[in-house]
Amino acid sequence: MNSFVIAEPDKCIGCGSCEIACVLAHPIDTSGMDVPASVNFKPRLKVIKGAHAVAPVQCRQCENAPCVNVCPTNALVYDKNSVQLLADRCIGCKTCVLACPFGAMEMTLVPQKRAGATTSSGVTFVSVAHKCDLCVNLATGPACIQACPSQALRLVDPQSIRDKVNCKREKSLLSLHKLNLG
């Protein structure tokens, strides 16, 4: 079972702090390239504001992930109890975007220096899949969770799921026991 971040819409205030924290946790190397500053703002989650709720949507790190199953280049792999993207393998085909049942996969343009280019104007952009990686590069865990002022985000790990399931089973057993006594 993989860990994933989940949002509680009743607590989310839609401030976007999670998106900013995500961007800061994943800087894009544009050194030596003449690219607009907006290229660096690529959050791996998106705050969605609906008619009755607001919350970020991000990868659920599925165990039998449709995106992993359809990727023709094996750019999506299971690693560190999550689904990780190996961007250098991505060919930008978008099959992962179509396969994701949560709408958490998207494509982004990433700057690359053209082969043999010696000036900053020799920049080209390639389309690459983009998703939450649970901030595996951070010892403190997902940056979005730490940045959320309303504590609407939490990490769900295999042990917490087992604990919740056991709690539900105990409640079910107690209610069954009460029915038999009554």
pLDDT tens readout for residues 64-111: 999 999 999 999 999 988 999 999 999 999 999 999 999 999 999 888
- Do 115 and 106 contact (CB within 8 A), yes or no? no
Structural domains in the chain (count)? 1
Q: Give percent above pLDDT 90 in the chain.
A: 64
Q: 177 lies in a domain?
A: no
Range of the domain at 27: 4-157
pTM over 0.85: no
Distance from C-alpha of 2 to C-alpha of 129, rounded to nearest angstrom: 20
How confident is residue 130, by pLDDT bands cut at 50, 70 and 90?
very high
* pLDDT of amino acid 181: 72
In a domain, 178, yes or no: no
Q: What is the pLDDT of residue 117?
A: 54
Q: Is residue 139 part of a domain?
A: yes
Residue 21 lies in a domain: yes
Residue 167 lies in a domain: no
Residue 135 is assigned to a structural domain of this protein:
yes
Is residue 72 in a domain? yes
Q: Is residue 11 part of a domain?
A: yes
